[in-house]
Amino acid sequence: MPVGPLMVEHRLIERMIALIRKEIQKMRMHDTFDPEFVRAVVDFIITYADHLHHGKEEGILFRDLSRKPLSAEHRRIMDELIREHVFARENTGKILDLREKYLKDDKDSLIAIIEHMENLVQFYPRHIEKEDKHFFLPVMEYFSTEEQSAMLNEFYEFDRTFIHRRYREIVSTMEEINKD
């Protein structure tokens, strides 16, 4: 079943969310935060949860589903999931911006950092539950065994080449910025 790897990725995201939850408690208790922890969270959410995980969902599963005659309910859930991915991206970007402000002595940004990290802690468990329990398995019925196998192979190929694509993009962007 092609959604198996996506569900495995959910378990790792849940582990990160548990760590974020604990860190929020420390942040509230000490009225400060560990900038490296927040940097690692942002990197994890952007790279793993969004580019890798949501990348497979949107670029492969949702792409293939959009070609199928989905029920109104499945279409609604898929559209909702896409909007939720956008929310997670935007929220994570705000955390990154606020971290930079905090490091430039804007100590008032701590409250907003906590707020946006709490958004992730509240968002991901609900989002994952929706995908795991109400979407992934039912929509597999739209695909033949051959289509499911092809999708699984595409997931594996995406994983295999992901890190190379990611860092080629980073280097290309840096080259573009540093043109003479």
Domains and CATH numbers, the chain: 3-177 (1.20.120.520)
Instruction: Summarize pLDDT for 107-144 with one digit per residue, the tens.
Output: 889 999 999 999 999 999 999 999 999 999 999 999 99
- What's the pLDDT at 90? 97
How much of the chain, in percent, has pLDDT values that exceed 90? 84
Neighbours of 51 (CB within 10 A): 16
Q: How confident is the model at residue 165 (pLDDT cuts 50, 70, 90)?
A: confident
Which amino acid, one-letter code, is at 12? L
* Site of tokens 């003479």: 180
Buried b / exposed e across 56-92, counting CB within 10 Å, b at 16+?
A: bbeebbbebbeeeeeeeebeebbeebeebbeebbebb
Average pLDDT, integer, range 156-175: 89
Closest by alpha carbon to 73, among 127, 134, 29?
A: 134
* Residues 142-160: b if buried by 16+ CB within 10 A, e if exposed: bbeeeebeebbebbeebee
Radius of gyration of the chain (CA): 18
Q: What is the pLDDT of residue 107?
A: 85
Read off the DSSP letter of residue 178.
T
What's the distance, CA 62 to chain centroid? 15
For helices 35-43 and 72-103, give the axis angle rounded to 10 degrees: 150
Q: Evaluate the CA torsion angle 96, 98, 102, 107 in order and state its sign.
A: negative
H-only helix segments in 44-144: 55-56, 63-65, 72-103, 109-134, 136-139
Distances (CA, A) of 149 to 58, 75, 104, 154, 159: 18, 22, 50, 9, 15
Task: Give yes or no for a contact between 81 and 135, defined as CB atoms under 8 angstroms apart.
Answer: yes
